[in-house]
């Protein structure tokens, strides 16, 4: 097995005025290709901070981190953006779609930035939207979709370019139970059938139930 | 990469219309600003060109040749001989379009009721026709039929002052080349109307032949006016004439009429200041709109970065929004300005102020003159300064930390 993510003694300290707030107090974590990892823990335990650092959205205060062979702590903002574009998909708690783009355009966006041809990205976007159950809704804009549908578009966008890693931050938090179940099934399906690696931060026991590994965080550490 | 640019262009255009009311308000400000700049420039350019053309047509020409000392003391015995070979050779340059020899001396014109001091001009009717205002300004009677025509042409305002009229006789008195009083009666054969009172009361025109005979001048004249195919050739021809005519006084229009030169220079400077003032008013609106759009979409910019859009692309996207906003506003502004200029036709009537405006050689009708140069400068000022102004909001958007931006409510 290949390690997609490798964190060594990751620390993150925020300054709030004169006070140092420790968000991560030395995290060591390895995620293998094809893994399905759930991070759970109380609010403020550092789950989202860890996901942000793994995704290169934020930089650690100390420690070393490697994602898909890239040493993130040594990279510039532009290099981090390129790394995310090529290797990482994101699903956020609040669906975070671009409101001026249709569902298909939202899904195509990453591929467009990667330079995939118009025909190919259209084909792949329609196929993935069909897989997440949104066939026929390709031309709807986010405000015309329900919360569950928007989150499925976000999942489709995260997986459409076959990233090595998908990071999901409480993806079921704003969904009703049926929609949440569907989304979990979808992610499990992507993991088992397409080998997509997931790291999910969640409070949802249903998500944890399907995880290959459940990790708990407390006070900025894995316990 | 090309597809990335297509994406940010599409995003920029759609984002522009995300808040249509705000976009329309700022577009209106840009259109109004562009309109104010361009129409004001066209009006000022019209004034400037009219001042220049009127000055050149007002017996000035682009260059004048005189006997030494004539300009300081324009008396009858400071004359030059039109038959000298050097003069004829010097005036053969291809850039010289027209030349006109004149007798120009102070005189008094008297009717039965009144008299007035004037500048007596003896002109060659054929040469002067393309040289100055006189031929096209004769609105009553006729222009001279030949160089021996014995009539006189006076301005409309002067005729009114002298309480005389077309066909009646006036007497001209001046000093001849022997320093004796020369006087002669003339019938008014033509009345000219230039809408500039000062011009209409200053000159009395007779033919060159008549003047030379009346003043015992032989083939001598007071001045030779030179009109060029374009004013830009002035310095080149001036140098040639000075070199070819070392014994004569050769002067350009801008030395002979310093006020017109001053007006031209002042206009160039003040137009740019006007552009900047209008832009300042407009610029705050533009930067506020773009800045608000950036603040509102902080979370979206974080998302773009999370999805792999590089900071430079974020900057470019915001900048492109500004560019689209500015170019759309300018396109409409240019169209509205062009229609405004078109609607004014020959110009606007400023007769209410024309008494004062005569001082700077302006007529009662000021035309709007839209030049490519003025259009380019006005548009460039808005576009370049607008884009520079929008660098700040664009830079702010690009330097957001994605993890913080994406959680911003």
Mean pLDDT of A44-68: 92
Question: Is the CB of residue A102 less than 8 Å from the CB of residue A125?
Answer: no
Over residues B85-105, the pLDDT tens digits come to 888 888 888 999 999 999 999
Contact A32, A20 (CB under 8 A): no
Q: Nearest CB to B406: which of A96, A101, A157?
A: A96
CATH fourth-level superfamily of A3-222:
P-loop containing nucleotide triphosphate hydrolases (3.40.50.300)
The predicted-structure confidence for B10-63, as pLDDT tens digits, reads as follows: 888 888 888 888 889 889 988 998 998 899 888 888 888 888 888 898 889 999
Which residues from chain A sit within 8 angstroms of residue B12, using beta carbons? none
Q: Check if the beta carbon of residue B287 is closer than 8 Å to that of residue B395.
A: no
Instruction: Yes or no: say if B281 and B387 are a contact pair by the CB < 8 Å rule.
Output: no
Read off the pLDDT of residues A167-220 as tens digits, 9 standing for 90 and up: 999 888 877 788 788 888 888 888 888 888 999 999 888 889 889 999 999 999
Q: Does A113 touch chain B (CB under 8 A)?
A: yes
| Cβ-defined contact of B307 to A86 (cutoff 8 Å) | no
**Residues of B at the A interface, defined by Cβ within 8 angstroms:** 1-4, 6-7, 11, 14-15, 18, 299-300, 302-303, 305-312, 401-404, 406
Q: What pLDDT, on a 0 to 100 scale, did the predictor assign at position B63?
A: 95
Mutate to test the interface with B, among A113, A160, A166 (most CBs of B within 10 A): A113
* Residues ≥6 apart with Cβ < 8 Å to A96: A90, A154, B299, B303, B406
**Tens digits of residue pLDDT in B356-374:** 665 566 667 788 888 888 8
Q: Is the dihedral of CA B297, B300, B306, B310 positive or negative?
A: negative
Instruction: Look over chain A and give the mean of its residue pLDDT values, rounded to a whole number.
Output: 90
Q: Do A52 and B4 touch (CB under 8 A)?
A: no
Residues of B in Cβ contact (< 8 Å) with A49? 403
Which long-range CB contacts under 8 A does B383-388 form with residues at least 24 apart? Answer: B383/B323, B383/B326, B383/B327, B383/B330, B385/B279, B385/B283, B386/B279, B386/B282, B386/B283, B386/B286, B386/B322, B386/B326, B387/B319, B387/B322, B387/B323, B387/B326
Using DSSP bridges, classify how beta strands A197-201 and A36-40 pair: parallel, antiparallel or unpaired: parallel
pLDDT at residue number B1: 57
Q: Would an 8 Å CB–CB cutoff place A115 in contact with chain B?
A: yes
pLDDT of B351 > 80? The answer is no
User: What does DSSP say about strands B152-155 and B181-192: parallel, antiparallel, or unpaired?
Assistant: parallel
Nearest to B172 by CA among B116, B125, B219: B116
Statement: residue B401 has pLDDT above 60: yes
**Which residue is listed with tokens 């009539």?**
B151
pLDDT attached to residue A174:
76
Q: Which of B61, B108, B93, B89 is nearest to B223 (CA)?
A: B61
Q: Which helix (H) or strand (E) holds B400?
A: none
- Residue B409 above 60 pLDDT? no
Cβ atoms within 10 A of the Cβ of B183, count? 13
Residue B379 pLDDT greater than 80, yes or no = yes
pLDDT band at B271 (very low <50, low <70, confident <90, very high): confident
Interface mutation target, options A54, A91, A98, chain B, most CBs of B under 10 Å? A98
Mean pLDDT of A140-149: 91
d(CA B14, CA B6): 12
Which among B248, B251, B250 has a CA at the least distance from the CA of B261?
B251
* Mean pLDDT calculated for residue range A4-23: 90
Closest chain A residue to B303 measured between Cα atoms?
A96
Within 8 A by CB and 6+ apart from A3, the residues are A30, A31, A32, A33, A66
pLDDT tens figures, A71-115? 998 898 889 999 999 999 998 877 689 999 999 999 999 899 888
Cβ-defined contact of B310 to A78 (cutoff 8 Å) = yes
ipTM of the complex as predicted? 0.87
Task: Provide the b/e sequence for B386-409 (b: ≥16 CB within 10 Å).
Answer: beebbeebbebbbebebbebbbee
Chain centre distance of CA B100: 24
How far is residue B184's CA from residue B180's CA, in Å, rounded to a whole number? 13
A142 to chain B, any CB pair closer than 8 A? The answer is: no
Return the pLDDT at B57: 87
| Higher per-residue pLDDT: A169 or B404 | A169
Cβ neighbours of residue B229 closer than 8 Å, sequence gap 6 or more: B95, B96, B97
| Per-chain mean pLDDT for chain B | 87
Residue from B7, B19, B300, B306 whose CB has the most chain A CBs within 10 Å, to mutate: B306
Reduced to 3 states (helix: H, G, I; strand: E, B; else coil), residue A33 is: coil
């Amino acid at each position: 097995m290949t390690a997609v993510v490798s964190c060594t003694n990751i620390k993150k300290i925020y300054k709030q005025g004169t006070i140092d707030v420790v968000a991560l107090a030395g995290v060591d974590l390895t995620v293998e290709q094809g893994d399905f990892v759930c991070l759970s823990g109380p609010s403020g335990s550092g789950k989202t901070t860890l996901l942000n650092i793994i995704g290169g959205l934020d930089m650690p205060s100390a420690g070393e981190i490697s994602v898909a062979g890239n040493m993130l702590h040594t990279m510039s903002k532009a290099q981090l953006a390129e790394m995310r574009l090529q290797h990482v998909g994101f699903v956020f708690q609040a669906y975070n779609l671009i409101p001026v783009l249709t569902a298909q355009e939202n899904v195509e966006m990453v591929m467009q930035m990667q330079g995939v041809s118009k025909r190919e990205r259209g084909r792949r976007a329609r196929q993935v939207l069909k897989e997440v159950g949104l066939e026929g809704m390709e031309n709807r804009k986010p405000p015309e979709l329900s919360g569950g549908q928007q989150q499925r578009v976000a999942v489709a966008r995260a997986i459409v370019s076959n990233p090595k890693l998908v990071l999901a931050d409480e993806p079921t938090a704003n969904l009703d139970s049926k929609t949440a179940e569907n989304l979990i099934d979808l992610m499990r399906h992507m993991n088992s059938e397409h080998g997509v690696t997931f790291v999910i931060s969640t409070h949802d026991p249903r998500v944890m139930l399907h995880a290959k590994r459940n990790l708990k965080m407390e006070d900025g550490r894995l316990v | 990469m090309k597809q990335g640019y297509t994406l940010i262009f599409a995003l920029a255009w759609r984002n522009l219309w995300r808040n249509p009311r705000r976009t329309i308000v700022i577009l209106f400000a840009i259109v109004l600003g562009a309109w104010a700049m361009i129409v004001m420039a066209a009006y000022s350019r019209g004034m400037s060109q009219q001042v220049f053309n009127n000055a050149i047509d007002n017996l000035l020409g682009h260059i004048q040749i005189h006997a030494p000392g004539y300009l300081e003391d324009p008396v009858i015995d400071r004359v030059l001989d039109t038959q000298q070979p050097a003069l004829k050779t010097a005036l053969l340059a291809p850039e010289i379009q027209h030349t006109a020899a004149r007798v120009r001396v102070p005189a008094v014109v008297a009717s039965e009721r009144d008299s007035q001091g004037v500048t007596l001009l003896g002109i060659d009717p054929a040469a002067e026709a393309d040289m100055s205002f006189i031929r096209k300004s004769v609105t009553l009677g006729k222009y001279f039929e030949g160089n021996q025509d014995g009539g006189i042409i006076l301005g409309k305002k002067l005729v009114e002052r002298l309480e005389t009229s077309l066909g009646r006789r006036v007497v001209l008195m001046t000093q001849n080349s022997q320093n004796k009083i020369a006087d002669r009666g003339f019938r008014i054969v033509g009345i000219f109307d230039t809408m500039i009172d000062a011009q209409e009361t200053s000159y009395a025109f007779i033919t060159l032949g008549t003047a030379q005979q009346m003043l015992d001048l032989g083939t001598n004249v007071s001045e030779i006016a030179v009109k060029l195919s374009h004013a830009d050739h002035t310095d080149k021809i001036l140098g040639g004439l000075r070199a070819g005519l070392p014994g004569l006084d050769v002067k350009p229009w801008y030395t002979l009429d310093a006020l017109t030169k001053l007006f031209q220079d002042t206009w160039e400077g003040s137009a740019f200041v006007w552009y900047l003032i209008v832009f300042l008013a407009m610029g705050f609106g533009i930067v506020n709109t773009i800045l608000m759009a950036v603040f509102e979409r902080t979370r979206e910019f974080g998302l773009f970065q999370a999805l792999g859009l590089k900071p430079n692309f974020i900057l470019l996207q915001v900048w492109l929004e500004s560019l689209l906003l500015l170019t759309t506003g300018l396109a409409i502004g240019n169209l509205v300005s062009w229609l405004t200029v078109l609607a004014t036709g020959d110009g606007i009537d400023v007769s209410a102020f024309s008494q004062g405006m005569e001082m700077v050689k302006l007529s009662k009708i000021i035309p709007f003159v839209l030049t490519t140069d003025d259009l380019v400068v006005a548009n460039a000022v808005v576009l370049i300064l607008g884009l520079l102004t929008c660098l700040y909001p664009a830079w702010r958007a690009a330097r957001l930390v994605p993890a913080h931006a994406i959680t911003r409510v």
